[in-house]
Amino acid sequence: MRTRGRELTAELEQLTSSVHKDEIARAEQRMRIETLENKTMEEFGIDTQVLVSEYGPDKDVPTFFENEAGEIVTTELIPYRRDQQEKRLASAERSLALLGKINPLALEEFSTLEERLKFLAEQLEDLKNTKKDLLDIIKEVDDRVQTIFMEAYEETSKHFEDIFSRLFPGGDGRLILTDPDNPLTSGVDVEARPPGKRIKRLSLLSGGEKSLTAVAMLVAIFKARPSPFYVLDEVEAALDDVNLGRLLVILEELRASSQLIIITHQKRTMEIADALYGVTMRGDGVTEVISQRLRESDAS
């Protein structure tokens, strides 16, 4: 009997301990339930009875997905399974963690950035319109410059051919655009072929031929765009008597409409001048300018 009493006493202690553990577990469950109820009310504002009646485990669970517009769309309903919903909860918590903390000033910042974006968009539109206006002006100026250039080029080319043929009887000279399709960026080549030669490049001409070709180019520009006066510095220094005579005829034509100032050592050039100015050095080493107006009787 004493042995049986000890066994029953041990069993009673076990039962008492088990009951105590159950009471503690029930108390913990009640605390968890109260905590969840308070949390539900604070965060979602939903009463416990409503939460259980509408979202209990006996209710089907909707599935969701996010469309391209970022909207959450509800699809079919599926039976509640705790393991599946725990996975969904873990996934949602990870996504929420990636979003970071909520910025309470986000709306104000969004409004400020939206106004800034609107202002910059207006400024960008103004810049686009200004750019378009500037491009139109540039095109208009380019067209005008191209027109003026082509007119000057054609006139100069025509006069160059005429002057070259007179300075080189039987020869052929012309101006060529290096890029005819783009006159504004094109260069101008001078082709010169003296009589009896096949040479076209200026670098292959003799010194006198180069000088005379350059004079032909200058005179062509003078005739295309006349000026009140011209200054020429020993342009005929490398010319022989025959070519000098041809050049003097051209200069006589220019002097009819413009004043020529020529620096020269050629006597024949001095003979056609209206006035001569010379610089000489006196015996005391001081330079002196001497002038002499020529008349037809004096020139003869």
Which amino acid appears at position 296 of this protein?
Answer: E
Q: Note down the domain range covering 221.
A: 115-225
Q: Is residue 245 part of a domain?
A: yes
Same domain, 122 and 183: yes
Q: Is residue 192 part of a domain?
A: yes
In this prediction, residue 225 carries a pLDDT of 86
Same domain, 179 and 126: yes
Summarised one tens digit per residue, pLDDT across range 185-210 is 888 888 888 887 776 667 677 777 78
Which of the residues in the chain have pLDDT under 70?
65, 70, 199-201, 203, 295-300
In this prediction, residue 133 carries a pLDDT of 94
In this prediction, residue 300 carries a pLDDT of 35
In this prediction, residue 70 carries a pLDDT of 67
Alpha-carbon distance values, 208 to 36, 102, 145, 270 (Å): 111, 90, 35, 20
Same domain, 177 and 238: no
Alpha-carbon gap, residue 81 to 291, rounded angstroms: 122
Which amino acid appears at position 265 of this protein?
Answer: H
Same domain, 283 and 235: yes
In this prediction, residue 299 carries a pLDDT of 39
DSSP code at position 201: S
DSSP code per residue over 132-145: HHHHHHHHHHHHHH
| Residue count (the chain) | 300
Phi, psi of 114 (to 5 degrees): -65, -40
What is the rounded average pLDDT for all residues in the chain? 84
Alpha-carbon gap, residue 185 to 37, rounded angstroms: 83
Cβ-Cβ contacts under 8 Å for 159 (sequence gap 6 or more): 219, 220, 221, 223, 224
- Tell me which residue has tokens 């002006």: 137
We report the CATH number of the domain holding residue 237 as: 3.40.50.300
Residue 169 and residue 195 in contact, taking contact as beta carbons nearer than 8 Å: yes
